[in-house]
Structure 1
Amino acid sequence: MDKAKVGVGLVGTGYAAKLRAEAFLHAARTHLVAVVGHTPETSAAFANQFQCTAMSSWQELVARDDIDLVTICTVNRDHGAIAKAALSSGKHVIVEYPLSLNVAEAEEIITLAKAQKKLLHVEHIELLGGVHQAIKQHLPQVGELFYVRYNTIKPEYPAPRKWSYNHELFGFPLMGALSRLHRLTDLFGQVLTVNCHNRFWATETEYYQSCFCVTQLCFSSGLLAQVIYAKGETIWHRERRFEIHGEKGGLIFDGDTGILIKAGETTPIEVGSRRGLFAKDTSIVLDHLFHDAPLYVTPEESLYTLKVADAARRSAETGLTIVVED
């Protein structure tokens, strides 16, 4: 950057947007210029809280001359359209995963960013978290891997009637919740085939009350991974569990507690906090913009995981095993 401060525009007023806004307000290198939310009321309240201007549409926001960086924290359905418009307007872009709910559109956006010579950063803070870092640290101790199980199960009764329970706004469960697969592709590499079964419970067309999605990934290394993502009213036990099984030991993470199991011994693993990850992500992006420091994830890596998630969607729809294309 050839400026002292980056002018930031924020699309979204929810949980992630608030954490981003706090990070930008505390960063000496940024100035939060404008925000736009789902309604004029939410935009105005957010703008008042974070001392910026409320806009009436994201189209107006991305066109502002005093905005250098557009940060997208809104519903998954709109990520691709906003990212394309922002890049086309000459802005740098941060977008919460997924980059798009459509693989072809995601590829187009990455190509556009390169053509415009602008930053495109797809946030994947799960890679910065304590569990992921602890896994990377201890993975060599368990030998050759053969099985992984990763469950994210969240009972909610009654289920909220919000965008994360909406087919169109959230997308296919493992595309909307892309981090559940991205953690695995980051750790274990290329996926060969995907099998997926998915079920919704719904009393209306647009919104559902529960979903249960189970996927098996066969990696090129021979590793077999099972991922369960479930939420809503028919889910009865909360679980956030990551198991890694190798020929010389295992790693078990239950919530933020971890253990290393080897023959005859079990060793507790210190797991870092999940707090402050949006601020850390923001700082890394600013270091890249100002000093060309390396990022911790590339858009191409996120795109690859999106392809794996799309293979899961097609498998669930057809009942077939899907081969993942590079």
Structure 2
Amino acid sequence: MIRVGLVGTGYAAKLRAEAVNQDDRAKLVGVAGHQPDKTAEFGHTHQTQAFNAWQELINAVDLVIICGVNSEHSKIAQSALESGRHVVVEYPLAIDLQSAQSAIELARSQNRLLHVEHIEILGGVHQAFLKSLAQIGTPFYARYITLTPQNPAPAKWTYNTSLFGFPLVGALSRLHRLIHVFGQVESVSCQNRYWNLNGDRYTGCMCKAQLNFKNGVIADVVYGKGETIWTSERKLEVQGDRGALIFDGDRGVLIHSDGASEIEVGARRGLFT
């Protein structure tokens, strides 16, 4: 039986704990988090031990699942791998390239699993996207927009540049969804703006990137959140030479010369259903 430890007490950690507890091949040994009260409550809810620090947790398990603050992912992964543990980490692996490369090299040298979880590619929208793509011929343009108004902006690590990372690094799934489908990126251009940036803390951001893929597809990615965003949007659009795909929220539509038809979209939570 694999002994599993969780680092983090948020939504992703909750789903991981539930999944581990339902699997007879694994035992959830414990959890570590930043806030002792919240960690203790999490441990009680999921019938596992609350550890004072992730360093202690690593020594008691075979596999570490990292679901905490983005900026700590690579440090915890590095330490776990050095201790001979297997690692599953929510994206991003790191908020800088050098740390990510170091963790990958260490996993190889230690012959240990290092899996970066991209739950978005297991969800219903992405699976419907993959299944429907051939029906629009050769794709040439994609646009992916996620806008989240929050007023007031929460005083959380997700609005902190040093903890969350650059917007499209912290929110890497927005890029990875397209890269998973269209392959190698040849060039990138990007613009970003923060509002009320005070030290590392901000109350709003708007980030736009254009990806030019080796296969000729051009993709625009827009990610915005906070007090300066006024409309909520989650929309993926792909144009091809024989049609288009539009996923607006959890609703999918195929458009071609014969008109428009609905695309069946499964559950958004993917692996965690």
Which of the five TM-score ranges fits, normalised by the shorter chain?
over 0.9
Distance 1:116 1:132 in 2: 33
Give the corresponding residue for 2:225: 231
2:44 to 45, 48, 52: 48
Q: Secondary structure at the match of 1:168?
A: helix
Distance 2:135 2:258 in 1: 14
In the alignment, is residue 141 of structure 1 matched against residue 141 of structure 2?
A: no
Deviation at residue 275 of structure 1 after TM alignment: 3.2
Aligned partner (choices 207, 229, 243) of residue 201 of structure 2? 207
Asked if residue 103 in structure 1 is aligned to residue 100 in structure 2, the reply is no
Secondary structure of the structure 2 residue equivalent to 1:41: helix
Aligned to 1:84, which of 69, 72, 78? Answer: 78
| Aligned residue type for 1:102 | D
SS at match of 1:258: strand
How far 1:115 sits from its partner (Å)? 1.4
- Tell me, in whole angstroms, the C-alpha distance in 2 between the residues paired with 1:228 and 1:148: 11
Separation (CA, whole Å) in 2 of partners of 1:256 and 1:49: 31
Is it true that 1:178 corresponds to 2:172 in the alignment?
A: yes
Query: In structure 2, what is the Cα distance between the partners aligned to 1:203 and 1:164?
Result: 13
Structure-1 separation of matches of 2:258 and 2:44: 59
CA RMSD of aligned residues (A): 1.1
| Bigger mean CA deviation after superposition, 71-80 or 198-207 | 198-207
User: Structure 1 residue 20 and structure 2 residue 21: aligned?
Assistant: no
The count of residues paired between Structure 1 and Structure 2 equals: 273
Segments of structure 2 that go 5 or more residues without pairing to the other structure are: none
| Letter of the 1:152 counterpart | T
Map 1:126-275 to 2 at 5 A: 126-202=120-196, 204-275=198-269
Instruction: Note the alpha carbon deviations across 1:235-261, whole angstroms, 9 max, x for none.
Output: 011000000000100000000100110
Deviation, structure 1 residue 264: 3.2
CA–CA distance in 2 between the matches of 1:219 and 1:54? 45
**Counterpart amino acid of residue 215 in structure 1:** A
Q: Normalising by structure 2, report the TM-score.
A: 0.98
CA positional deviation for 1:47: 1.1
The list of structure 1 runs, each at least 4 consecutive aligned residues, that deviate by more than 4 angstroms after superposition, is: none
1:284 alignment counterpart: none
Q: Shift of residue 12 of structure 1?
A: 0.5
1:31 aligns with 2:27: yes
Q: Which structure carries more strand by proportion?
A: 2
* Paired amino acid for 2:233: E
Superposed CA offset, 1:122-146 (max 9, x none): 0001111111111111111111111
TM-score where L is the length of structure 1: 0.82
Distance in 1 (alpha carbons) for counterparts of 2:47 and 2:270: 21
- For 1:179 and 1:29, the matched residues in 2 are separated by 29
Structure 1: any 5+ residue segments left out of the alignment? 280-326
